[in-house]
């Protein structure tokens, strides 16, 4: 949060502030998915698995390359925290910082989620979003952010002066990932990473630049759909804040389950191939 300034503004302050911004990563040079090819195979899908994630808990799922997976609202407004891993190499996982830099603060139809170095490649493509009508509201809020890190017991402990809360999304994801992989909790916890905040409505306040949340516009029947570019292990937490209209670590907020559905298309998108590992040679100038 920016403090009240104690430094007197220089004479050219207005001119300095008026300098026009430059986009860091021009999307014109970024290879884009052929969204029409993905959407052309959505009409003939076979449901192969359905995973129900209970309130204030998390669950893992597998989405093989070439499959679609959907996160669905089924009972009431609810947000979820999504982690994604390369199912064959858990060290390659979702990199929200680079995904944000390449797509923006919130992701939606046609955006791709990128993985960590050194693989750094698209691992999932968003192929449908029933909330794409929301856009940005008058407060600067939008849905499906890659800003927030996930609610966690460490920040809760800090802000509550010593409180111990175990159903934060970080802990939910840790328990589910440990069950799935057989890793001990302390090791599993280190694999949990910054998330896609599915259905969560967030932004930054214009006066202080603080991260805010507001009631999610999601309703039963809404879903966010992805295409798995590689074999994925997903882990989804049902946030203890419910629709995040008040707080995001709570035993009293109304919470509802979320559902993950995995679909196999009758055919693969025309021209599709699994993304290769990043082409950087790794020598770092040596």
Q: How far apart are CA 191 and CA 53, in angstroms?
A: 20
Tell me how far apart the alpha carbons of residues 147 and 159 are, in angstroms, rounded to a whole number: 20
Burial 25-56 (b: 16+ CB within 10 A, else e): eeeeeeeebebeebbebeeebeeeeebebebb
What residues are paired with 47 via a beta bridge?
A: 263
Whole-structure pTM value: 0.96
Q: How many residues does the chain have?
A: 286
> What Cα–Cα distance (Å) separates residue 224 from each residue in 25, 90, 167?
25, 24, 24
Max CA pair span of the chain: 66
| Distance of alpha carbon 71 from alpha carbon 223, whole angstroms | 5
Per-residue pLDDT of the chain (286 residues; tens, 9 = 90+): 667 889 999 999 999 999 999 999 888 888 889 999 999 999 999 999 999 999 999 999 999 999 999 999 999 999 999 999 999 999 999 999 999 999 999 999 999 999 999 999 999 999 999 999 999 999 999 999 999 999 999 999 999 999 999 999 999 999 999 999 999 999 999 999 999 999 999 999 988 899 999 999 999 999 999 999 999 999 999 999 999 998 777 788 999 999 999 999 999 999 999 999 999 999 999 9
């Amino acid at each position: 949060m920016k403090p009240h300034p104690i430094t007197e503004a220089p004479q050219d302050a207005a001119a300095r502030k008026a300098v026009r911004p430059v986009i860091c990563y021009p999307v014109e040079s970024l290879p884009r998915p052929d969204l029409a090819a993905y959407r052309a195979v959505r009409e003939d899908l076979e449901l192969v698995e359905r995973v129900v994630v209970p309130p204030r808990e998390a669950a893992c799922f597998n989405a093989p390359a070439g499959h679609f997976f959907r996160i669905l609202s089924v009972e009431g407004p609810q947000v979820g925290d999504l982690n994604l891993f390369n199912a064959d190499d858990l060290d390659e996982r979702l990199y929200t910082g680079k995904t944000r830099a390449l797509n923006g603060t919130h992701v939606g139809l046609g955006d791709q989620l990128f993985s960590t170095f050194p693989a750094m490649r698209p691992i999932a493509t968003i192929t449908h979003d029933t909330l794409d009508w929301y856009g940005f509201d008058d407060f600067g809020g939008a849905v499906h952010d890659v800003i927030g890190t996930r609610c966690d017991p460490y920040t809760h402990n800090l802000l509550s002066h010593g409180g111990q809360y175990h159903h934060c999304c970080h802990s939910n994801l840790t328990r589910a990932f440990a069950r799935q992989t057989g890793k001990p909790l302390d090791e599993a916890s280190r694999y949990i990473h910054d998330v896609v905040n599915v259905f969560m409505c967030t932004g930054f306040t214009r006066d202080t630049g603080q991260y805010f949340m507001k009631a999610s516009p999601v309703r039963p029947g809404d879903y966010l759909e992805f295409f798995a570019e590689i074999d994925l292990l997903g882990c989804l937490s049902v946030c203890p804040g419910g629709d995040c209209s008040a707080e995001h670590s709570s035993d009293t907020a109304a919470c509802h389950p979320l559902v993950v559905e995995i679909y196999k298309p009758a055919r693969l998108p025309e021209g599709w191939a699994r993304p290769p590992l990043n082409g950087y040679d790794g020598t770092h100038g040596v």
